Structure 1
Amino acid sequence: MNHARARWRSCIEAAWRGQRLCLLALLPLSALYGALWRIRRWAYDRAWLPSAHPGGKVLVVGNVVAGGAGKTPLTLAVVEYLRRKGYSVGLISRGYGRRGIQVEEVTATSDARQVGDEPLLLHRRTGLPVFVGADRLAAAQALRQKYPQTEVIVSDDGLQHLRLRRDLEICVFDAGGLGNGRLLPAGPLREPWPRPTSDVPMLIVGPPGLNLPPLEQSVPVHRRLSDTAVNAEGQRRPLAALRTQPLVAVAGIAHPERFFEALRAQGLTLAECHAFPDHYDFGSNLAPFLAGKEIICTEKDAVKLWCWRPEAWAVALEVELPEAFFAAIDRALATAPHHAQSHYDRAHGSPPT
């Protein structure tokens, strides 16, 4: 069942990357989607829909293409840079697929099903405050209320969450770029491209050589697997030490095949590869399925899989970015207006609680 879902998603994304005739029937829905998106953007631009800034500085890391684009590793790289610069940093996220409804703080013992796998990964990797909620503004306000010393809030995803005002946008692309350039559902775009002009600066990040029409040049990012695998007990092993044994690779991410290819490129022998849908909820029913096998998985999958298979080896995805990228972040933070406290449009009264 889950393998079928993964294959179906792969077929859809393959269609989005081309100009398949089967997608022509969806063009009216894409036109409707685009019209609704433009009306919504227009309403926010004219303050007909309320928006607010939670205070401090806000950086949003997101994408305009449906599916994974490597946002979380990039978010981690941005957060670590800001920490080295001496900023007090907090993170917010929607927590895709979470069962919780209200805004919630992520802790080291949180259940990924309650807070989302990516927010739990972010907290465990950084130890920083992480709040989740469908309303990113409410999550940011809750973070600032509990941790008023926070100077910079980094939002993992939320590029289209216009209710949250921001000081810098970082838009991430993978090698697929804009796909066929069409809006959902006839294409992968969550919003029209190029984006409307805005007072908020945007950094575009993608693989080396990626060019986006009409004139945008992306900041090149190099992605690679970490040289070391880790299990739930904190034990570490170089990937090179795993080359002598057959492994079972498990991935519940947007593009599982890319993870499998990266493992093979490291010289690992994959006896089995099991692809699951993105954000897959690994449960106890998986334990017998993989009993007695040496498992290797992504870092995002590990926060769920370790509950049942703590000996599984997790491999992180790392990114390398040019100094120009971080210099642009410095300039954006230096020139952004100072927000001492949350500001809500006066026309709409007090901020929501």
Structure 2
Amino acid sequence: MSDKLVVWWYQRRLAFPLWFLTPLSALFTMLAAVRRMLFVLRLKKSWQAPVPVIVVGNVTVGGTGKTPTVLALIEHLQRLGMRPGIVSRGYGGAGTFPALVGATSTPDLCGDEPIMLARLSGVPVAVAPKRIEAAKLLLASKDIDVIIADDGLQHYALGRDIEIGIVDGGRGFGNNWRLPAGPLRESARRLKKVDWVLTNGPLAAEHSLPKGIEAQEMNLQTIGWRQVGDSSEIEVPDGETALVIAGIGNPQRFFAMVREQGITISETRVYADHYDFKATDFYHVSNEYPVLMTEKDAIKVRAFARPHWYYLKVAMALPETFLQQFTERVQGVAAMKKASAQAPVSTRSQLPNEAPNL
């Protein structure tokens, strides 16, 4: 996915170069609708876990803030006394799936985001393109009582009890076209079916949510800079310019955060989301030259990081109203599933089958 394509996607109108992709968008829309309808009509069944399953996802391609949102939810669930685990697709990984993320896991085996989630959350993380397999592996090998799916809003085979849709407040839904002519995986109206819609930052004036959708605002907060090599806290680079790199879904958001801290940027380099950094990418960068990056990128350059390479640690602040509602819902689902598991077989057979929250 080129940076130019993303720029075109997030213009208000369909850019001329994308006109030629509209037939493919129509085909994508049709296939996605058929696939979803198979689950709605129960012609294909979704697997229901014995513990609450929470899906955190979006209807657009690219970064909206899902990963920091997942981390914030994990912390909240732990404060409630619950034992969460995370499932992820493991995008970019080529390892044997399903797999648990461990101390020896590398981005080329299981993807960059699962490693970051495991290191920062401290909870079990399982990866597999088929998220059902990852969820079953977690339940079989780890002591967990709630599962969070990082992304997977469109992965209907995994039954879910709670859905949270994330929207980038600054970019919205772009040109409102489906892939590949636009950034939408599904229609923005899909968000009417989720339990909560959270916007990453305030929704820009030029964007709007479909009628009938209410959203709550969350905000990404900066915690401080860390050295890539040892993660120790440092002061903001002062009095010198820096090279800023980003291999994430929304690099401009990160560049803006760096500028907001008063750091002078001499050069920015944009790489594809999930880019596999190599030492050769930095051969022409001076050893004394500060290089700033995101935490996700830091994971992939740690093996060859130099002393003046830093990453920005951030955390998502979730709205209090949402947290109160979320707590009641997840505790209620957990109690219901526990009671169902303890009920006699004859009683359980009379309970209605749960369908995914489509």
Q: CA deviation at 1:300?
A: 0.3
- Matched with 1:321 is 318
Q: CA RMSD in A?
A: 2.1
Distance 1:112 1:310, change over 3 A: farther
Say if 2:163 is the partner of 1:169.
yes
Q: CA deviation at 1:226?
A: 2.3
Structure 2 residue identity aligned to 1:98: G
Deviations 1:200-219 (A, max 9, x none): x5210113246401121211
CA distance in 2, matches of 1:93, 1:281: 18
CA distance in 1, matches of 2:213, 2:299: 36
**What are the equivalent positions in structure 2 for 1:320-339 lying under 5 Å apart?**
320-336=317-333, 337-338=336-337
TM-score in terms of structure 2 length: 0.86
Would you say the 8 A contact 1:60–1:169 is kept in 2? Answer: yes
**What are the equivalent positions in structure 2 for 1:222-301 lying under 5 Å apart?**
222-239=219-236, 242-292=237-287, 293-301=289-297
Q: CA deviation at 1:38?
A: 1.6
Which of 113, 135, 138 lines up with 1:140 in the alignment? 135
CA distance in 1, matches of 2:36, 2:109: 31
**Secondary structure of residue in 1 paired with 2:198:** strand
Would you say the 8 A contact 1:53–1:137 is kept in 2? Answer: no
TM-score in terms of structure 1 length: 0.87
CA distance in 1, matches of 2:293, 2:16: 36
The sequence identity of aligned pairs, in percent, is 33
Q: CA deviation at 1:291?
A: 4.0
Deviations 1:133-188 (A, max 9, x none): 100011000000001x3111111110000000011111111122122222222221
Would you say the 8 A contact 1:287–1:308 is kept in 2? Answer: no
Would you say the 8 A contact 2:223–2:313 is kept in 1? Answer: yes
CA distance in 1, matches of 2:203, 2:151: 24
Would you say the 8 A contact 1:6–1:275 is kept in 2? Answer: no
Structure 2 residue identity aligned to 1:295: V
Would you say the 8 A contact 2:191–2:213 is kept in 1? Answer: no
Would you say the 8 A contact 2:59–2:190 is kept in 1? Answer: no
CA distance in 2, matches of 1:323, 1:110: 35
Q: CA deviation at 1:117?
A: 0.6
**What are the equivalent positions in structure 2 for 1:27-106 lying under 5 Å apart?**
27-106=22-101
Distance 1:186 1:142, change over 3 A: same
Say if 2:178 is the partner of 1:183.
yes
Distance 1:193 1:264, change over 3 A: closer
Say if 2:209 is the partner of 1:212.
yes
Q: CA deviation at 1:82?
A: 0.6
CA distance in 1, matches of 2:282, 2:184: 37
Distance 1:6 1:39, change over 3 A: closer
Q: CA deviation at 1:49?
A: 1.4
Which region of structure 1 is more displaced relative to structure 2, 137-146 or 37-46? 37-46
Q: CA deviation at 1:97?
A: 1.1
Would you say the 8 A contact 2:242–2:267 is kept in 1? Answer: yes
Q: CA deviation at 1:330?
A: 1.3
Task: Please list every run of 5 or more consecutive structure 2 residues that lacks an aligned counterpart in the other structure.
Answer: 342-347, 349-358
Q: CA deviation at 1:262?
A: 1.2
